[in-house]
């Protein structure tokens, strides 16, 4: 389904840019309710990641609202729950799945959420070209594609090059929160985050609480569909919490 005034298939013209990506753009089947939500709200709450500088204060209507970036929100259920639980914080939620974009807009409308904006496109374009330094109050990456085959590990999102883009955009004290149910990816995440300049583990291995480097599951992160699926398969979920210093 095409949306003349909704999310574009390739907002940054990335087909001409040769770079390994951690995602595949997906349209997928969309319900009438999701499509209607896009038609009603994309002009106000949607953001195209086209490389143009982004004014977060103008986007959210307040220079005082701290903004957290969430990359990969699926169908948006957890995002909507977190936005409802903390209206004092804005969430800029990025994904390329049109049904999920429509669903999150539908949830935001249903619950009266004014602190959610839905971004369409490549998050790397956003990080590289669109945000000023120290403009984000946090980063959330929950259950990203683990790309389990060894030949695909280069496609994983959490890499040194990704954190080199993210870290300068985080304000002091901002929290990077990752979660995965894929053990080898959790180990890579921990290794890469530990080595990233400017980030400190809030639960370091061998710390005062005998930590392993992984964080206890925070109460503010709702259970996601992917998490439930992983737990049903016997996977162990790992959270990682790092602070911008």
* CATH number of the CATH domain containing 138: 3.40.50.150
- With a cut of 90, say whether residue 21 has pLDDT above it: no
Q: What is the C-alpha to C-alpha distance for residues 8 and 55, in angstroms, rounded to an integer?
A: 20
Q: Which two tokens stand for residue 175?
A: 């929290």
User: What mean pLDDT is reported for the chain?
Assistant: 91
Domain assignment present for residue 2? The answer is no
State the pLDDT confidence band at 10, using cuts at 50, 70 and 90. confident
Mean pLDDT value of segment 106-134: 97
pLDDT band at residue 12 using 50, 70 and 90 as cut-offs: confident
d(Cα 194, Cα 190) in Å, to the nearest integer?
Answer: 6
**Residue 206 falls inside a structural domain:** yes
99 close to 76: Cβ distance less than 8 angstroms: no
Tell me: pLDDT of 27 over 70: no
pLDDT of residue 4: 61
- pLDDT (tens digit, 9 = 90+) per residue, 52-62? 999 999 999 99
Is residue 8 in some structural domain?
A: no
CB-based burial label for 106 (10 Å; 0-12, 13-18, 19+): buried
Contacts of 6 (CB under 8 A, 6+ apart): 38, 39, 42, 46
Query: What is the SS3 string spanning 113-165?
Result: CCCEEEEECCHHHHHHHHCCCCCEEEEEEECCCCCCCHHHHHHCCCCHHHHHH
Whether residue 90 lies inside any domain: the answer is: yes
> What tens digit of pLDDT does each residue of 142-164 get?
999 999 999 989 999 999 999 99
pLDDT above 90 coverage of the chain, percent: 80
Task: Write out the residue range of the structural domain in which residue 153 sits.
Answer: 14-244
**pLDDT greater than 90 at residue 114:** yes
Q: Is the pLDDT of residue 1 over 60?
A: no
Q: Answer yes or no: is 175 within a domain.
A: yes
Task: Assess if residue 164 is contained within a domain.
Answer: yes
Instruction: Summarize pLDDT for 167-216 with one digit per residue, the tens.
Output: 999 999 999 999 999 999 999 999 999 999 999 999 999 876 667 899 99
pLDDT of 67 above 90: yes
Cα–Cα distance for residue pair 68/174, rounded to 1 Å: 9
What is the helix (H) or strand (E) element at residue 111, kind and residue range? helix 98-111
If pLDDT is split at 50, 70 and 90, which confidence band does 133 have? very high
> How would you label 134-167 residue by residue, b for 16+ Cβ within 10 Å and e otherwise?
ebbbbbbbbbbbbbeeeeeeebbbbbeebbebbb
- Residue 6 placed within a domain: no
The side-by-side arrangement of strands in the sheet containing 170-180 is: 46-48, 116-120, 90-95, 67-71, 136-142, 170-180, 238-244, 199-201
Active-site annotation holder among 77, 86, 145, 239:
145
Q: Quote the CA–CA distance of 11 and 34 in Å, as a whole number.
A: 20
Domain count, the chain: 1
Cα separation, 224 vs 213, whole angstroms: 22
Answer yes or no: 39 catalytic: no
5 is a domain residue: no
- In the chain, the percentage of residues whose pLDDT exceeds 70 is 91
pLDDT, tens digit, 9 for 90 and up, residues 29-51: 899 999 999 999 999 999 999 99
Closest-CA residue to 96 (of 80, 115, 79, 119): 119
Say what the pTM is: 0.90
């Amino acid at each position: 389904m095409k949306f003349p005034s909704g999310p574009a298939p390739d907002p940054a013209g990335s087909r001409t840019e040769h770079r390994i990506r951690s995602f595949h753009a997906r349209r997928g089947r969309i319900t009438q309710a999701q499509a209607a939500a896009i038609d009603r709200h994309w002009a106000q709450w949607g953001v195209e990641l086209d490389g143009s500088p982004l004014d977060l204060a103008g986007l959210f209507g307040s220079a005082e609202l701290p903004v957290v970036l969430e990359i990969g929100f699926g169908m948006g259920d957890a995002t909507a729950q977190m936005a409802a639980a903390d209206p004092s914080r804005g969430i800029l939620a990025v994904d390329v799945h049109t049904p999920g974009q429509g669903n999150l807009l539908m949830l935001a409308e249903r619950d009266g959420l004014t602190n959610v904006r839905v971004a369409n496109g490549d998050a790397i374009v956003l990080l590289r070209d669109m945000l000023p330094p120290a403009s984000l109050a946090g980063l959330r990456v929950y259950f990203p594609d683990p790309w389990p085959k060894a030949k695909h590990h280069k496609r994983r999102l959490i890499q040194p090059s990704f954190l080199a883009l993210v870290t300068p955009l985080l304000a002091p004290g901002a929290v990077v929160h990752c979660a995965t149910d894929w053990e080898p990816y959790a180990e890579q995440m921990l290794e890469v985050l530990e080595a990233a300049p400017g980030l400190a583990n809030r639960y370091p291995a061998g710390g005062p609480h005998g930590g392993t480097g992984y964080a206890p599951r925070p109460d503010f992160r709702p259970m996601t569909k992917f998490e439930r699926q992983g737990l049903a398969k016997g996977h162990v979920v790992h959270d990682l919490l790092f602070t911008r210093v």
